Structure 1
Amino acid sequence: MDTGAGLPDIAVGFDGWRAEVRTRVLDEVAGFLRGVRTDGLRSAAVEDVLRQYAVGGKCLRSGFMYLGWLCGAEPDDAALRAAASLELLHAFALLQDDVMDDAALRRGAPAAHIRLSEGYGHDGVESAVRFGASAATLLGDMCLVWAERMLRESGVDAAALARVWPGYDEMRIELAVGQYADLTNDVRDRPALEEVLAIARAKSGNYTVARPLELGAAMAGCAEETLMMLSRYGTRIGEAFQLRDDLLGVFGSAAVTGKPEDSDLGQHRATTVVVVALESADPATRRELSELASRPALDQAAITRCRDLIGASGAPERVEAMIADRVDEARSALRACSLPSGRRAALDQMALLCTARQM
C-alpha cells in the first residue's frame, strides 16, 4: 500500500493538511482529464468549462470522503485518488443544476451553458441558447461517467471498492431525486419547513458531507460503530451546510458565493430562510413578503425589499441558531467516539469550515 507520506500530519496542522489534500485532489482530477478521450470536443470553451467546474472547487466532498477513509486506514494515494473522483461527480451536478436553473454565474464566471453558446452563430440567439444548454448537459453526462471511471481505476483494491458501490449508487439516485424535488420547490406553493429541509438534505446536505464520509469509511472497512457516528455527524453538518448556503443565497454577495445575488429570490425558490421568514414574521410583514414572492417576476427593487422583510422577520437569527444547534450535535458525536485525536480534530475543523459565515 502507498502510504501517501507526502501528506501533512492532521494532528500537526489542519490548515496545512487541508491545503495539501485540496492541491493533490485537483492535481489528480486535472491529470485524469488530460488522459480521457474527448475526440470532437477539444475546444477552448470546453476545456475552460472543465477547469471551471471540475478543477476550481473547494473540494469539500472529496475531502470528506478521504477523511472517511482515514477514520479506518492510513494515508494512501489510491484512496485520495478515489476521493478525488467526487469532484467530477460534483461537476456533473453543477452543470445540470445550472442548466435547470438557467444560472448566469458559477464560481464568479459565466455558467457553462452561456460560455458554450458563445460563437454558435446558426439560426440566431434562440438556437445558440439551445445549443449551449444541450452542450452543457452532454458535458455533464461525460463528467458523470468519468467520475465512476476515475473511482474504478483509482488503484483501490477490488474488495474495498465493492464496499463502495452500493452507497455510491444510492448517493447518485438521492442526488437526482433531490434535484427533481427542487424543480417543484416553489415558495408560491407554501411548502412546510420540514419538506424544504428534506429536499435540502437530499439535494445537497447528504451529498456534500454524510455520503462522502460514509463512502470513504466503507472503503476503509471501518467498524459499524464508526460508520454510525460518521453518519450522525455527516447528517447534521450536511444540514448546517445547506442552511448556511440558504442564508448566503439571500444575503451573500456574488464575490462570496460566485453566483448572482438574486438567484434564490428571483427564482421563487422556497429555501429554509424564506420559509422560516414566512412562519416567523408578524402579519403585516408576512402579507407583504407573500405578495412579493407571488409575483411572476421580481425586479431588483422587489428583491431588495424581500431581503429587508426577511431580515425584519427574525429569520436570519433563527436559521443561525439552527446551524449552531446542528454543529453542536455533530461535535458532541465526535467527542463521544474513539477515533484518533488527529482524525477527530480534522472532522471538528471541517465542521466549522463548511458552516462558517463566509467560506
Structure 2
Amino acid sequence: MPKDPATLASDTSPGCYDLFDAAAIRAEVDAHLAGFLQDQAESACGGRLPTLVTDILARFLRGGKRLRPLLCTLGSLAAGGCVGPPVIAVAASLEMFHAFALIHDDVMDRSATRRGAPTVQQELAGHYLAQAPRRSGSRHIAQAAAFGNAGAILIGDLALVWSVHMLAAAGLDAHRFARTRTVINEMHHDVIYGQWLDLHAVGGSDSDVETPLSVIRYKTAKYSVERPLHLGAVLADAPPAALKALTTYALPIGEAFQLRDDLLGVFGDPSVTGKPVTDDLREGRRTLLLATAHALADPDQRRILARHVGDPLLTEHGASAVRTVLNETGAPEHVERRIATLRDEALRGLDDAPITTASKAELRTFAHHMTERTA
C-alpha cells in the first residue's frame, strides 16, 4: 500500500533520508555518474573503449543544473518515499539520458558551444585536426567536421545505452522496475517526438503558435519535468491521484521553463547561459517568441525577420536587428505574461494535491527558480 501522502517518508533504512537537500543530491548524483563511468572505462569492450570517448563524456556530464535528477528525487519525497541509493541511481540515469539528448541535439542544430565549452562534435573535430597538424585545406576541415559529427552521434548513442544500463543496475525490485520502465519508455517517446516536431517546424509558418507550444509540451514539459517527477513517485508506490497532481503542476511549469529558455536564447548573457545568443535565430527555430513577433509585426519588420531568422551566416549585427523588431512588437512582454500565467496555474495545482506538505513547498520554490532564472 502507498504511504500516507500527508506526511513525510517514514522509511529510515540505511542511506535513505526524507529531506530534500539539493546540494547533497547533486553531489550524490555526480558521484554515481563518476563511479559508473570509471567502471565502464575499465570493463566496457574488455577495457578497450577509447579513453577519448569516456573522457569527453565525463567532461560533458560535469556541467548542467541536474534539474531532472532533482525532480526525480523530489517526486519520491512527494509520494511519501525517501532518497536512498536506488533513487539516486535512477536519478543519475536521467542525467545520462539527458547527455544523449543534448549531444544529438547539438549535432542536429550544428551548435558550436554547450555549457560554455565546445560541443562534443567540435571537440572531436579539433582532436581530428590535431592528429594531422601538417595537413590543411577545406577538404581536411570538412573531414574533421564529418568525423566530429559521426563521433558525437556514437558518443550520444553510448550515453543512451548506458542510461538504460544504469537503470537496470539500480537494484529495484520487479514491481518498481516494471513501473519505472513504463515511465522511462514514455519519456523516450516524448523526447523523440518533441525533437521531431521541432525539426519539422523549421521552415513552417512564421506566425504558427500551436506548433511551438506542441514542441514545448513534449520536448520540455513532459520530458524535463513531468516524467522525472513521475519516475521518482513510482519508486515510492505513488497512487494514480498523486501522479495526476504532479502532472497538473509539471506541464504548465515545464512550458514556462522552456519559454524562459527561449527568451534567454535571444536576450541572455552568453557568459551566464554558456551558449551564444545567435544560435536559435541562426537555426530559425520556431519559438512562441518569434511567432508572436511575426503576428504583431508590420510589413517592414516582417522583412527584417525574414532576412535574418534562419540565416546560417547570421552576424551579431543581424541578430541585433531581430532583437530590435522583437522589442518593438512587444513579443518578449507577451511571452513574460504567459510565463507568469503558467507559473500561477502550476502553483494552484499544488493547493489540494495529495502529496507531502514539504514537497509542495519545494515544488513552489522550483516553480519560481525555473521561471525567473538567468541561465
- Name the TM-score, length of structure 2 as normaliser: 0.88
- 1:65–1:215 contact (8 Å) kept in structure 2: yes
Deviates most, 159-168 or 103-112: 159-168
- 2:125–2:147 contact (8 Å) kept in structure 1: yes
Per the alignment, residue 200 of structure 1 pairs with 216
Per the alignment, residue 76 of structure 2 pairs with 69
- Separation in 2, partners of 1:225, 1:8: 21
Question: One-letter code of the match for 2:270?
Answer: A
With over 3 angstroms needed to count, the CA separation of the structure-2 counterparts of 1:327 and 1:266, relative to structure 1, is same
- Separation in 2, partners of 1:206, 1:114: 29
Q: Unpaired segments of 5 or more residues in structure 1?
A: 11-16
How many aligned positions are there?
Answer: 352
Question: One-letter code of the match for 2:124?
Answer: L
Deviates most, 72-81 or 166-175: 72-81
> How far 1:170 sits from its partner (Å)?
1.6
With over 3 angstroms needed to count, the CA separation of the structure-2 counterparts of 1:75 and 1:113, relative to structure 1, is same
3-state DSSP of counterpart to 2:355: coil
Q: Which of 33, 36, 40 does residue 37 from structure 2 map onto?
A: 33
Per the alignment, residue 371 of structure 2 pairs with 355
- The answer to whether 1:9 aligns with 2:13 is no
With over 3 angstroms needed to count, the CA separation of the structure-2 counterparts of 1:272 and 1:295, relative to structure 1, is same
> How far 1:287 sits from its partner (Å)?
4.0
- Separation in 2, partners of 1:301, 1:285: 15
Report Cα offsets for 1:109-150 as digits up to 9, x if no partner.
011011112232467211111111111110111110110110
Question: One-letter code of the match for 2:19?
Answer: D
Cα-Cα RMSD: 2.0
3-state DSSP of counterpart to 2:292: helix
- Separation in 2, partners of 1:34, 1:326: 42
3-state DSSP of counterpart to 1:336: coil
- The answer to whether 1:310 aligns with 2:326 is yes
Per the alignment, residue 56 of structure 2 pairs with 49
With over 3 angstroms needed to count, the CA separation of the structure-2 counterparts of 1:244 and 1:187, relative to structure 1, is farther
> How far 1:187 sits from its partner (Å)?
5.5
> How far 1:290 sits from its partner (Å)?
3.3
- Separation in 2, partners of 1:219, 1:7: 14
- Separation in 1, partners of 2:55, 2:288: 34
Q: Unpaired segments of 5 or more residues in structure 2?
A: 1-10, 133-138
- 2:207–2:294 contact (8 Å) kept in structure 1: no
- Separation in 2, partners of 1:327, 1:301: 34
With over 3 angstroms needed to count, the CA separation of the structure-2 counterparts of 1:338 and 1:3, relative to structure 1, is same
- 1:206–1:238 contact (8 Å) kept in structure 2: yes
- 1:186–1:270 contact (8 Å) kept in structure 2: yes
Question: One-letter code of the match for 1:125?
Answer: I
Per the alignment, residue 231 of structure 1 pairs with 247
> Which residues of 2 match residues 115-130 of structure 1 at below 5 A?
115-120=123-128, 121=131, 124-130=140-146
- Separation in 1, partners of 2:314, 2:301: 17
> How far 1:282 sits from its partner (Å)?
4.2
- 2:37–2:58 contact (8 Å) kept in structure 1: no
- Name the TM-score, length of structure 1 as normaliser: 0.92
Q: Which of 151, 173, 181 does residue 135 from structure 1 map onto?
A: 151
With over 3 angstroms needed to count, the CA separation of the structure-2 counterparts of 1:294 and 1:169, relative to structure 1, is closer
Question: One-letter code of the match for 1:64?
Answer: L
With over 3 angstroms needed to count, the CA separation of the structure-2 counterparts of 1:8 and 1:216, relative to structure 1, is closer
Question: One-letter code of the match for 1:277?
Answer: A
3-state DSSP of counterpart to 1:317: helix
Question: One-letter code of the match for 1:276?
Answer: T
- 2:249–2:346 contact (8 Å) kept in structure 1: yes
Question: One-letter code of the match for 1:9?
Answer: L
